[in-house]
Amino acid sequence: MERKGTAKLDFLRKIELEIQEKWERERTFEQDAPTTVGESTNKNKYMVTFPYPYMNGRLHLGHTFSLSKCEFAVGYQSLKGKKCLFPFGLHCTGMPIKACADKLKREMELYGNPPQFPEEEEEEKQQQTTSDEIIIKDKAKGKKSKAVAKSGSSAFQWDIMRSLGLTDQEIVNFADAEHWLDYFPPLAVKDLKLMGVKVDWRRSFITTDVNPFYDSFVRWQFVTLKERKKIKFGKRYTIYSPKDGQPCMDHDRQTGEGVGPQEYTLIKMKVVEPYTAKFKSKVFYSKNIFLVAATLRPETMFGQTNCWVRPDMKYVAFETTNGDVFISTRRAARNMSFQGFTKENGVVPVIMEILGQDILGCALSAPLTSYKIIYALPMLTIKEDKGTGVVTSVPSDAPDDIAALRDIKKKQALREKYGIEDKMVLPFEPIPIIEIPGYGNLSAPLVCDELKIQSQNDKEKLAEAKEKVYLKGFYEGIMLVEGYKGQKVQDVKKPIQKMMVERGEAMIYMEPEKQVMSRSADECVVALCDQWYLDYGDADWKQQANEALKSLETFCEETRRNFEATLDWLQEHACSRTYGLGTRLPWDEQWLIESLSDSTIYMAYYTVAHLLQGGVLNGQGESPLGIKPEQMTREVWDFIFFKTSPFPKTNIPKEHLQRLRREFEYWYPVDVRVSGKDLVPNHLSYYLYNHVAMWPKDNGKWPQAVRANGHLLLNSEKMSKSTGNFLTLSQAIDKFSADGMRLALADAGDTVEDANFVETMADAGILRLYTWVEWVKEMIANQNNLRTGPADTFNDRVFARQPKISIGSWPSKACTETLSSSS
């Protein structure tokens, strides 16, 4: 937006900087717990926190919008006379910083320093390749070098760093992960101070084991949780990055936050004679070959009439642990290789690559169906990014299946095109397996007829048909098949799955619900990992978290419902990994503690951080109390945070320990935590769980309120660096002043719905503020001419009664009485 002049903006910025310097000089926002018992007992305090932002770049307007809610609340509560504390930490734990540093390192190794990246034409060729490894021509050296090219990795980290205004000479330093910890946190503090936030900066810190005091605090927390049987070990399905060699939790993801593993039943359909040409190859000699289909509905396998493959899709035949051969897409095979399906973890031993058209017409023996032999037929709408690329066909209860089956039955040309004989199609009719109220025992054909679906290409109508049939069938359907007759569909799903697995007709298979990309640009899989995990599925722990939710103020019902839904489905959460930055697991130091797991009760650390770190972000300065990190033993932390713990054996003076405990006891619990609503399904729910685990018998320490807000739009559009519709905090202050920005943030929105920062509103704020200051100056200059004496005019009496006027009922009774009495 063009700006006509900056005089008014400069005027406001000058005032802001002067006042900010005054605040810093006078330590205006530094707060300590009272030393007298009376004040400590009768608290009149307010502590607000904001999830510490990640330090891999400058703070942006989205961060600013959420933290402004903390800022406004602290200002309001201060005016009400409360002693207010707003501490602010800076998050460095996890994968992103390490992944970015390593990516820079790889780019320098491949392309030089500074890098000479491939030309645009060469880049396009690279992005089109389907291989995991691509050949990049190094023109300067006249030879070829290999580089890993993964989906989503086309943006070079060096260019990203340049976009932050860094020179090539500066960027080199960022190949060392620890440099990020020195560079970005001070910038965040600087930007927030320019905003004028009411933060006690003595209590700020960065995370990871670089900070010895915070590292000690996190280790204490995890030892306590393990002792209380909240942390367990075992093989668990988890979203996993093969490239990084470790689980990929929400904060480690480029895309796919909140996505978890999806369980399928993998149906084994054995290829039988007469074999098609491909299966007569000697590589398959004496091997059992299975087309494997991933289904969410194992109870419908009684109704199979055929299976579907896509003629133009690429499949792989690979050898499994017991020597059998499975056929699926390469993507699905990759997932299976991390779940114990293959002899070597993560390795797919491909026997042959096969096109779908080479599978068509093969005879199959499929479990549970009443047809002895079924056939592989063509379906053109199968997607490669879900399931195995092989689909079981149950036309009695699946609209897609009946539509595709009808297509191939009535279109001889379609059969001839793919070499499908009449005997493979025409004799096969839908099998009644489920009775659904209102839809009968052949629900899919009925609904397709009602909606006049003509073919498998009627996508919108088929989506409507599926919506009608699937939910009603699952919740209201009654089984018709022997052994399960009369039972509800929802009750037999698991028993049928278990029966098929035990008989060797099926296996459990997992894949991500949606695509997940790690921050190192790796497409993630679901892996069966040895894993330390927080057992959030434990019934007692879950119940206690629900108790904490009952007393939690959420300010709106949608936030509460999101919490309830999360606590309902939440199960184990992997809390360890091997790559990134963080704290080591105290009892198993090959593992790092995952970044969402070590950030659940750190708000308690705020209460004492200033006395341990003395305002030095990395905790490596001199403690104001003369305490060394190694003195912070488990017993010392227990004494500070658990009021029933005895005085520990330590050479830390008793009065110092009592002061640390007094700070915690005064400021805790957190009165309100403000966050984006996207953190409810992970961090904010873990926040509840871990507080009740650490203080199970002291609900006075449990969170009091969580205020979740929506995302922030900029001028009614999504913020995006790629489109240029983006503002950092420092850019917004430069453009609108701190107060002009604040006014627009306050006006942007106040619910869980997405808010909208409008630049014209921020510009208008500058004008209003300037005009108001000028009016104040005028009034002060003219104060000798202002009226004096009793305030008893008609207008005075109206204003005196104003608080009694109820909003939304103008003219009110109070106003009417005032007017009447003065007439």
pLDDT tens, residue by residue, 669-693: 999 999 999 899 999 999 999 999 9
* pLDDT computed for residue 356 by the predictor: 96
Closest CA to 497 of 266, 335, 719: 266
Query: Residue range 532-540: average pLDDT?
Result: 94
636 CB-near residues (< 8 Å, 6+ apart) = 648, 650, 652, 657
- The answer to whether residues 173 and 270 belong to one domain is no
Whole-number pLDDT of residue 805:
41
Q: Is position 766 within any domain? A: no
- 426 & 293 share domain: yes
Domain boundary among 131, 163, 184: 184
Domain edge (last residue) among 150, 184, 218: 184
What is the bridge-based pairing of β-strands 261-272 and 363-365?
A: antiparallel
The tokens describing 668, both together, are: 């805790």
Q: How many domains does the chain have?
A: 2
Domain contains 728: no
pLDDT at 521 over 50: yes
Residue 495 vs residue 252, higher pLDDT? 495
**pLDDT band with cut points at 50, 70 and 90 for residue 67:** very high
Measured CA to CA, the distance from residue 711 to residue 718 in angstroms comes to 9
Give the pLDDT score at 95: 82
Whether residues 357 and 506 share a domain: the answer is yes
Are 401 and 278 in the same domain? yes
Residue 41 pLDDT: 56
For residue 582, is it within any domain?
no
- E-strand ranges in 211-288 read 231-241, 246-247, 253-255, 261-272
**Residue scoring higher pLDDT (139 or 238):** 238
Is the domain of 352 the same as that of 494? yes
- Residues 160 and 282 reside in one and the same domain: no
1 vs 311, more confident: 311
**CA nearest neighbour of 264 among 300, 308, 295, 304:** 295
- Which pLDDT value is given to residue 43? 82
User: Residue 495: which residues within 8 A CB-CB, separation 6 or more?
Assistant: none
φ/ψ (deg, to 5) at 190: -60, -45
| Co-location of 167 and 272 in the same domain | no
Q: 3-class SS at 643?
A: coil
Task: Tell how strand 506-512 and strand 478-479 pair up.
Answer: unpaired
Angle between helices 96-111 and 177-195 in degrees, nearest 10: 120
Over 50: is that where the pLDDT of 97 sits? yes
Nearest Cα neighbor of 433 from 470, 395, 475 is 395
The answer as to whether 491 is a domain residue is: yes
Phi, psi of 421 (to 5 degrees): -80, 155
pLDDT at 222 (0 to 100): 97
From the list 523, 531, 528, the residue with the least C-alpha distance to 578 is 531
> Is 156 domain-assigned?
yes
Residue 791 has a pLDDT of 87
Would you state the pLDDT for residue 3?
52
- Shared domain for 296 and 391, answered yes or no, is yes
* Residue 351 shares a structural domain with residue 496: yes
What's the CATH number where 313 sits?
A: 3.90.740.10
The residue with greater pLDDT, 243 or 214, is 214
pLDDT tens digits for range 540-573 = 999 999 999 999 999 999 999 999 999 998 888 8
Say if residue 490 is in the same domain as residue 372.
yes
Is there a domain that residue 226 lies in? no
Q: How confident is the model over 312-330, as a mean pLDDT?
A: 96
Q: Residue 470 — pLDDT band, cuts 50, 70, 90?
A: confident
What confidence score (pLDDT) does residue 42 get?
A: 61
If asked whether residues 313 and 403 sit together in one domain, one would say yes
Residue 79 to residue 585: CA distance in whole angstroms: 44
Q: Is the pLDDT of residue 652 over 90?
A: yes
Longest dimension (CA), the chain: 110
The last residue of one of the domains, among 495, 512, 529, is: 512
Q: Is residue 792 part of a domain?
A: no
Reported as a single tens digit per residue, the pLDDT across 571-620 is 888 898 888 899 999 999 999 999 999 999 999 999 999 999 999 999 99
Mean pLDDT of the chain: 89
Q: Is residue 266 part of a domain?
A: yes
The reply to whether 488 and 341 lie within a common domain is yes
Domain of 104 in residue numbering reads as 96-184
What residues have CB less than 8 Å from 235, skipping those under 6 apart? 528, 529, 530, 531
The pLDDT-based confidence of 119 (bands split at 50, 70, 90) is low
- Characterize the bridge pairing of strands 525-535 and 517-518: unpaired
